[in-house]
Amino acid sequence: MTISIDELSLRERADDAGMRQRAGGAALAGRLLRNPLTAAGLAVIVVLVACSIAAPLLTSYDPQVVDVSSRFLAPSSQHLFGTDELGRDLFSRILYGGRLSLPAPFEVVAIALLFGSTVGAAAGYVGGAVDETLMRLTDLFLAFPGIVLALAIAAALGPGLPTVVAAVAVVSWPWYARLMRSQVVSVRTREYVEAGRALGGGNLHLLLRHVLPNSLTPVLTQATMDIGYTLLTIAGLSFLGLGAQPPTPEWGAILSVGRSYVTDQWWYSTFPGLAIFLAVTGFVFLGDGIRETLDPRGQR
């Protein structure tokens, strides 16, 4: 089989694009690890996740065992974060609560990212009536204030952490759809995509091999930044009574009960609030660090 010079040149261009992409990924990992914001955010997240996983090793108290004789004990060597109105150890409840509060925003962002990116990629690559229809559907969801729509969905589905995750995911996906569409529209006409098309690559092959890999970076960066705000939104809905229900330990739910005792038992609301603050700060630092690393204008 003979290969023309033009076809060989097109293949070399496509291969060079793939090699540059892999080399860029390795260099990116190095820059991320050297970024102070990324390192600080990652350290906070790793500590919180490790403490939640190692909860049985860090405390001997069951987070749901009631001991009314120990109710409202101030922080001490025996109860590091004090106890609640039922005598439950707050340190234990916050550690175990991290097992619910920390994975929930990842679930929301994963669902919203997958669905939104699929819609945006289809709209941007196919174009025409498909683009118009999908974007008008996206605009329909964006027309409602996000928190109000999430409240309505969560209330309609009934209280519980899974319903809150579903509600927040429903109001989050349109942003990823918009962002992915703009990236795909920009990438689909670039030279290496045209080279792959000239070599006989089908639409699905071009989309999966060339367009999506080169469109994902801004979307994944936005997703990383959104995890912290999503955690805050979920905690807020739990604070309103729509999330995890008692006696399940969850940071927003613990904070909601603790607000009734904030004047006399300060530790009840302080420590779950501090856990939420640290988690959100860690994710925001990580997202900002990734954004600064990936922003060419921020590189020196």
Q: What is the mean pLDDT of residues 203-215?
A: 71
pLDDT above 50 (res 3): no
Cis peptide before 249, with omega less than 30 degrees from 0? Answer: no
Query: Is 199 strand, coil or helix?
Result: coil
pLDDT of residue 193: 66
Distances (CA, A) of 193 to 18, 20, 186: 11, 14, 11
User: CB–CB of 166/115 below 8 Å?
Assistant: no
Domain boundaries, the chain: 29-64+78-101+249-300, 103-245
Environment class of 168 (CB within 10 Å of its CB; exposed 0-12, middle 13-18, buried 19+): buried
Reported as a single tens digit per residue, the pLDDT across 260-283 is 898 899 999 999 999 999 999 999
* pLDDT recorded at residue 210: 67
82: left (phi over 0), alpha (psi -120 to 50) or beta: left
pLDDT tier at 287, thresholds 50, 70, 90: confident
The per-residue pLDDT for 1 is 45
| All residues at 6 or more sequence positions from 217 whose CB lies less than 8 Å from its CB, including other chains | 294
Which of 18-32, 51-65, 124-138 comes out lowest in average pLDDT?
18-32
> Percentage of residues in the chain with pLDDT exceeding 70?
80
- How many other CB atoms sit within 10 Å of the CB of residue 37? 18
Residues 215 and 185: beta-carbon distance below 8 Å = no
Averaged pLDDT for residues 11-34: 55
> Dihedral of the CA atoms 244, 246, 249, 253 (nearest 10)?
60
Q: pLDDT of 55-79, one tens digit each?
A: 999 999 999 999 999 999 999 999 9
Least confident of 16-25, 66-75, 142-151, 216-225: 16-25
**Cα–Cα distance, 253 to 22 (Å, whole number):** 44
Q: In 3D, which of 222, 207, 213 has the Cα closest to residue 295?
A: 222
Question: Whole-prediction pTM value?
Answer: 0.83
The CATH T-level fold of domain 103-245 is MetI-like fold (1.10.3720)
